[in-house]
Amino acid sequence: MNWSFDTLYLVCFTVGFVYALVAGFFAGVLGGDGGAPHGADVGGDIAGDLNSGDFSGTVHFSPFSPAVIATFLATFGGSGYIYMRMFDMDGTWSVLPALATAFVVGAAVFMIFDYIFKNTQGGVEVNIANLIGREAEVIVSIPADGMGEIAFASGGGRINTPARSETGTAIPKNTIVRISKIVGTVYLVKPAGEEPAERQT
């Protein structure tokens, strides 16, 4: 039965390792997302009073980022294979120590990246008046009468935030839109090709 675990571990290691290489290559060649590491999520971590005109927040590195997931997979596969081959463990019994090792290494990678990201990107300072009329990208399709999500660069970070269509028409993913109004924590947007929104004073 060990041959099946051999295959499982080798596949996990290969997928994790190759995924890390490919993600790193494209991040280096294409420059990443606005200078932010892959997996960085700002949208849920920004607090303040939108209606007052200013708010600030901190940028966090996601524990479910490609870097952490790739590390977990590669470590799980590599350590599981080592436990079986070097310590002569049965395939079934090797799963628990392999998972434990993967969690420890994955957590360490997450903490390192999170520390680096916090110290290089710092807090994100946003002024509402400066957001009106700014272009953003739809990263989650916005249905005609529903909520989607947009992303835009600000203060050295990348902000993800809920958004609705101002005109009530659906806006597909990857569309470049313009922020026309902010109501509470929801951004109203319309395709950038339409008439630019007036800036608030």
pLDDT digits over 21-37, tens only?
A: 887 666 544 344 433 44
pLDDT tens, position by position, 116-155? 776 655 444 456 667 888 899 999 999 988 999 999 887 6
Q: What is the pLDDT of residues 190-199, one digit of tens each?
A: 998 765 444 4
Q: Residue 198: what pLDDT?
A: 46
Look up residue 171 and give its amino acid. Answer: I
What is the C-alpha end-to-end distance of the chain, expressed in Å? 70
Whole-structure pTM value: 0.49
CATH class assigned to 132-191: mainly beta
